[in-house]
Structure 1
Amino acid sequence: MTPRDFALLAEEAYSAKPDIGDPNSASRAIVRQTAAGLVVAFPGTDNADCWGADFDVVPVAVPGMGDVHRGFLEAWQAIATQVTAAIGDQPVTFVGHSLGAAISLVAAASFTLAGKPPIAVYAFEPPRVSPNLTIRTLLSKVPVHLYKNGNDIVPDVPFGWNHAALLVHIGTPLLPLPNIRDHAIARVIQALAPAGTA
């Protein structure tokens, strides 16, 4: 599967009925069997509970993970048991866009700490999940793919914090300055399309 295929799953997570979690919460996911194996995809911000998670920026110390964004951590913890049960012993890839990208990274860190690292993480337009580098170190042996489209500002926040891996820059900016218009999952999918296709 290509990065675009995983981005399409991140997009589907917004519109499909969640397989796990409450559709009106920040804590929800879809589970799909794909050509790459099992994928759990988390949608991004599209309701009030999601906004609450986004802005709950207080760092919380988690043993083995360092300081973690409290809103992202709590959104993951609310469904962690259900996701773990849905996965069982299967290898899994975590996918998400925006808030979902952040949750996918916290999920990957949690699974890695438990001795069950994911196959990979595909995080599109991820905000930063930690003010230190512990999660990056923890996930150093997991293929973590972080994508930033154009001049999207979301991957730059919280300011001064760190990403779990290096960002891959894609797409042509809609505006010359940091903006939110480049953030849309549809723009990410367009940027990841093969040359010569729409």
Structure 2
Amino acid sequence: MKLALPLTILSYALAAAAIPVNKKRQDADPEADAIETNGPLPSGTETYGDTELAYNTTDYPDSVEAALNGTRAVALAAVREPTAQEEEMITYYMTLAGAAYCSSVMSGTWALCLRCGDVRHTEIIETFDTLIHDTNAMVVRDDESKTIVAVFRGSASLQNWAANLDATLTNYPAGGRVHNGFYESYEDVADELTAVVFDQLEQYPDYSVATAGHSLGGATSLLCGLDLHQRGIPADKISIHTAGAPRVGNTAFANYIIDTGIYYTRLTNKRDLIPHVPSTTMGFMHAGEEYWIRSDDTMQVCENGLETPDCANSTPLFTNMADHLDYMGLLGLCL
């Protein structure tokens, strides 16, 4: 079944503009309440790298279960259910993000991507594979929704993981500080990719622009959306859609994202640990409107702006990697 996408990106952006934006204090830690409520991990639990986050635990307290099954959300005024149109939009961009892992798609064809049926009507304009950081991306055009989309692949190589580990905060030209590895990965492809986007916009001036990606691809797609805005595309013609993305910059950078007015959705899945790194104690902070997939695969939407304690941040320290690898069943199953 082909996704209809009845609303353009501009329509979504205008709708989002009516949602209050939550700018928290600079010293707010959105995970602190959950860590206190959920308590410590059982002794001997395997953790992720040098963090205190569980790598793949299957046991967790009732407080995490209450968050996952939606019981906790009933008492939270700031949490809402997504509309059918929002769910359709999230699924569409997640399908594109998952497709970026398929080598056949990155070679310019949809033929061998078993999960790509809903986006095969889009035209692959150009694909990219950089030498230094192995940044893989593509620009596609959807003539039904009149959208040009820059899609970024997540981690799939040693170069990608080297970038993930380079978590030094470096100055971001427009404000704040960002993860150096993510920034360099995007810069590796920035000029070439944005030139294709602008060429498409010159041919289709009434089209909107979107960016999408999962994991590392979510981080680079965020930087791409901001870069396109800085290069002259109005905020109301851009949207950013990430899935399972790590934190990209500090609170000043997150507030810069909010200040642009760009429509930014951030999809998280159950107890996926990657959205919790790098840690807030290192100075990192998410922005955007979070769509959190609960244990029954329904979603709840948290307050727009700086990240809140009410969606994925209700699960630390009881996270896992398995949920990072299964977003809506749209990762894998391709050649």
TM-score (norm 1): 0.86
Q: Tell me the percent identity.
A: 26
Aligned match of 1:79 in 186, 189, 193?
A: 189
Aligned match of 2:148 in 38, 41, 52?
A: 38
Greater RCO (CA < 8 Å, at least 6 residues apart)? 2
Q: Which amino acid aligns with 1:11?
A: G
Could you say if the C-alpha distance between residues 127 and 173 of structure 1 is closer, same or farther in structure 2, counting changes exceeding 3 Å? Answer: farther
In structure 1, the partner of 2:285 is: 162
Map Cα deviations across residues 82-129 of structure 1 (whole Å, 9 max, x no partner). 111110152320000000000011111222223324521110011000
How far apart are residue 23 of structure 1 and its match?
Answer: 8.2
How far apart are residue 24 of structure 1 and its match?
Answer: 8.8
Aligned match of 2:106 in 8, 12, 17?
A: 17
Could you say if the C-alpha distance between residues 48 and 22 of structure 1 is closer, same or farther in structure 2, counting changes exceeding 3 Å? Answer: same
Looking at structure 2, the residues matched to 181 and 50 of structure 1 have their Cα atoms a distance apart, in angstroms, of 19
Looking at structure 2, the residues matched to 12 and 78 of structure 1 have their Cα atoms a distance apart, in angstroms, of 21
2:228 equivalent to 1:105: no
* Alpha carbons 1:52, 1:71 under 8 Å: kept: yes
How far apart are residue 136 of structure 1 and its match?
Answer: 3.6
Looking at structure 1, the residues matched to 156 and 279 of structure 2 have their Cα atoms a distance apart, in angstroms, of 22
- Secondary structure of 1:164 counterpart: coil
Could you say if the C-alpha distance between residues 122 and 108 of structure 1 is closer, same or farther in structure 2, counting changes exceeding 3 Å? Answer: same
TM-score (norm 2): 0.52
Where structure 2 has 5 or more consecutive residues not aligned to the other structure, the ranges are: 6-88, 108-126, 202-207, 298-314, 331-335
How far apart are residue 25 of structure 1 and its match?
Answer: 4.3
Could you say if the C-alpha distance between residues 169 and 101 of structure 1 is closer, same or farther in structure 2, counting changes exceeding 3 Å? Answer: same
Looking at structure 2, the residues matched to 22 and 143 of structure 1 have their Cα atoms a distance apart, in angstroms, of 28
Instruction: Say how many residue pairs are matched.
Output: 188
The ranges of structure 1 where at least 4 consecutive aligned residues each deviate by more than 3 angstroms after the TM superposition are: 22-26
* Alpha carbons 2:229, 2:238 under 8 Å: kept: no
In structure 1, the partner of 2:82 is: none
Q: Which amino acid aligns with 2:97?
A: A
Structure ID, larger Rg: 2
* Alpha carbons 1:112, 1:138 under 8 Å: kept: no
In structure 2, the partner of 1:56 is: 166
- Secondary structure of 1:31 counterpart: strand
In structure 2, the partner of 1:195 is: none
Looking at structure 2, the residues matched to 159 and 63 of structure 1 have their Cα atoms a distance apart, in angstroms, of 22
- Secondary structure of 1:86 counterpart: helix
How far apart are residue 40 of structure 1 and its match?
Answer: 1.0
2:152 equivalent to 1:66: no
Looking at structure 2, the residues matched to 139 and 106 of structure 1 have their Cα atoms a distance apart, in angstroms, of 13
In structure 1, the partner of 2:324 is: 183
